[in-house]
Amino acid sequence: MNERGDIGNNDNRGNNARDGNNGRRGFIAAAATLTTLATLTLAPGIRLIQIAAARPEEEAASAAVRWGLLIDVTRCQTGCEDCVAACGKENGLGEVARPRTDAQWIRKIDLKEHATGRALSLPMMCQHCAHPPCVDVCPTGASFKRADGIVLVDRHICIGCRYCMMACPYKARSFVHEPHTDQNPEVPRGQGCVEGCTLCVHRIDRGETPACVAACAAAGHAAMLFGDLNDPASAISQRIREVRTTVARADLALDPGVRYEGL
C-alpha cells in the first residue's frame, strides 16, 4: 500500500515536474523577450524597463525590486546644488530658512585629496541600507525599511526621540523643529518628527525617478543613475557590473542602496 502510494506520488511528481519545466521554459522565453525589449532604448535616457517599473497602485511594493542610486562622482560638478534645490522643492523643505536646524535630506560634500589636490564633489543622503542602523535602534518601529529597500520614517508613530539620527553614520536624518503649513500634499511632514530622504517614494510609486535624479539630468550632468539593483538588465545593474563602484563607509557592512563611482 505504502509502496503503491509512493509510486503514485512519484508519478505525479514526475508529471508536475514535466509541466513545471514546460511552464518554466515558457516563462524563461517570455522573460528573455521582455529583457530584450527592456534594453531597447526608445530615446536617449528612456528605456522600456523604466516605464514598466510603475506597478499598479493596488499592488504592494515587492522585495523582488531593490531601488538604488549610482552617483558618478566624476560627473558631479563642484558648486552645483541642483539636486539639493530640487529635493527641497519636491518635498517642501527649507521654508523656515534657519540653516542650522532646517531639515536636510540631501547635501553636497566637497572633498579634496591632500596628496594630489584632486577635488571631488558629491551628494550625500540616506543611503537606504539593507541593514539600516536607524531601524535597529528605533524604539517604536517608526523607522522601517519598505519591501523594495526604501528606508522611511512612519511619522504616525515617530516620537521624535532622535536615536536614529545618532545611529546613522551618514548624518542623513533631520529633526523637524518648526511647525509647517505648506507641505506638498504628497509629502506630509511636520513638527516633532525625524525625517530623511525617501528616495521620492511618491514619485517612484508613480514610475518616476527621484527629484534629485531628474534635476541632475536636467542640468545636463547626468551624474545620478536610479534603478532596480535586483534586475540584472537595469541600467544601474549593468553599470555597477562594468565599472568599479564603492559605497560610503563600506567598513560598516550596511549594504547601502546608494553607490558611488569614481570616489
Partner 1 sequence: MRFPAAAVLAVLCGLIAVTTTAHATQSGRTPLPEIAIAQPGQCVEPKEVMRREHMTLLRHQRDRTLREGIRTKKYSLNECIACHASRETGSVIGAGGFCQGCHDYAAVKPDCWDCHQPKPGRKTAVKAQP
Amino acid at 16: N
CB 88 within 8 A of CB 200: no
Restricting to residues 37-76, name those near partner 1 by CB under 8 A.
Answer: 43-46, 57-61
- Supply the minimum distance, in Å, between the C-beta of residue 163 and partner 1: 20
CA atoms within 13 A on the CB side of 124: 17
**97 forms part of the interface with partner 1 (CB under 8 A):** no
Q: Which of 226, 212, 95 is nearest to 149 (CA)?
A: 226
Partners of 152 in the beta sheet?
144
Interface with partner 1 (CB under 8 A), residue from 203, 229, 258, 259? 203
Q: What pairing do the DSSP bridges indicate for beta strands 258-261 and 119-125?
A: unpaired
15-44 footprint of partner 1 as x/- string (CB under 8 A): ----------------------------xx
Looking up cell 503514485 gives 8
Which range in 104-112, 132-140, 207-215, 252-260 contacts partner 1 by CB under 8 A? Answer: 207-215
- Supply the minimum distance, in Å, between the C-beta of residue 160 and partner 1: 12
- Supply the minimum distance, in Å, between the C-beta of residue 58 and partner 1: 5
Degrees, nearest 5: CA angle 222-226-230: 145
- Supply the minimum distance, in Å, between the C-beta of residue 7 and partner 1: 45
Cα–Cα distances in Å, from 235 out to 14, 43, 70, 207? 40, 14, 10, 15
Q: What pairing do the DSSP bridges indicate for beta strands 258-261 and 67-72?
A: parallel
All residues at 6 or more sequence positions from 47 whose CB lies less than 8 Å from its CB, including other chains: 38, 39, 40, 41, 235
d(CA 28, CA 127): 33
Size of the site for partner 1 (CB under 8 A): 46
Which range in 2-10, 29-37, 83-91, 127-135 contacts partner 1 by CB under 8 A? Answer: 83-91
**152 forms part of the interface with partner 1 (CB under 8 A):** yes
- Supply the minimum distance, in Å, between the C-beta of residue 134 and partner 1: 16
Interface with partner 1 (CB under 8 A), residue from 28, 40, 119, 147? 147
Interface with partner 1 (CB under 8 A), residue from 71, 151, 168, 214? 214
**191 forms part of the interface with partner 1 (CB under 8 A):** yes
Q: What residues line the site for partner 1 (CB under 8 A)?
A: 43-46, 57-61, 86, 89-90, 92, 144, 146-148, 152, 154-156, 179-180, 182-186, 188-193, 201-203, 205, 208-209, 211, 213-215, 217-218
